[in-house]
Structure 1
Amino acid sequence: MRAEMLNSILSDLNGSTADIEASAVLSKDGLMMAALLPAAMDEDRVGAMSAAMLSLGDRTAQELARGTLEQVLIKGDHGYILMTHAGNEAVVTVLAKPNARLGLIFLDVKRAAESIAKIL
């Protein structure tokens, strides 16, 4: 039941804009809880990397006195990866196109993360 609700939120998130190519909800330790990823993408690898990046981001934000981490944004030649906390237990990871309108995506991801946090 919970997995269906999480998948529904991800489906809504991916459908909110054509700029979002994939999304996933992971536990803090990197275990996949729900995902809408391309078939060629390894869920375990996405989970492990997302958890590691967010953990490093948390520590960096604290060490450099930037307060509580809100999100990690990675920009590459082929698009963006956005990671954000969904409550205390989970992480939302989103893959977006290179020309994506980030402001809109930030808003949609924040809403999705709040919904996910309520479920968990």
Structure 2
Amino acid sequence: MSQEAIVLELAGLRGRVMGVTDSVVSAADGLLVASDTDGVQPQSLAALAAAALGLGKRTSSEVGMGTLREVVTRCQGGYVVIYAVGVEALLVVMGDEGMDTATLRRESRRTVERIGEILEVTPAV
């Protein structure tokens, strides 16, 4: 695994999507893998995001609406969006209120795929 390659992917996402402020990749259990953060504690964000993703997956399964795509938390000051990277990892993206969510949806798919390739994770089923 190349932590530097993941950090480059995170920085690239920030550069391509207006409003992205921070991002983190962690293992599904919340262990930090890599981060591109400024004002956030990446270890805490990784652990909380893993818990939120777990709840989202369980909710998705319970309601029978298919595979979870993302967990979105919209706050007064912006967004926290969590994506599964296969079944073994996750990507957390934070953005301000002006974050371009349409571009984020498009660009995050590519970023998740590339991070998955770097981590060589098992695809989600």
With the length of structure 2 as denominator, give the TM-score of the two structures.
Answer: 0.90
Partner of 1:18 in structure 2? 18
In the TM superposition, what is the alpha-carbon distance from 1:100 to its structure 2 partner? 1.8
Q: Secondary structure at the match of 1:26?
A: strand
For 2:10 and 2:99, locate their aligned partners in 1 and report how far apart those are by CA, in whole Å: 18
Aligned equivalent of 1:95 = 94
Please, which runs of 5 or more residues in structure 1 have no aligned partner? none
**Amino acid aligned to 1:36:** D
Aligned residue runs from structure 1 range 1-120, under 5 A = 2-38=2-38, 40-120=39-119
Whichever residue aligns with residue 42 of structure 1, its letter is Q
- How many residue pairs get matched? 119
The aligned residue for residue 123 of structure 2 is: none
Q: In the alignment, is the contact (CA less than 8 A) between 2:17 and 2:99 conserved in 1?
A: no
Identity of aligned residues (%): 29
CA contact (8 A) 2:78 2:98 kept: yes
3-state SS of paired residue (1:99): coil
User: Which deviations, in whole Å up to 9, do the C-alpha atoms of 1:22-42 show, x marking residues without a partner?
Assistant: 11111000011110111x422
Unaligned runs of 5+ in 2: 120-125
Residues 65-112 of structure 1 show CA distances to partners (whole Å, capped at 9, x for unaligned) of 111111001101000011001122110000011122211011111110
1:34 and 1:80 map into 2 onto residues whose CA distance is 20
| AA partner of residue 57 (structure 2) | D
Moved over 3 A (4+): none
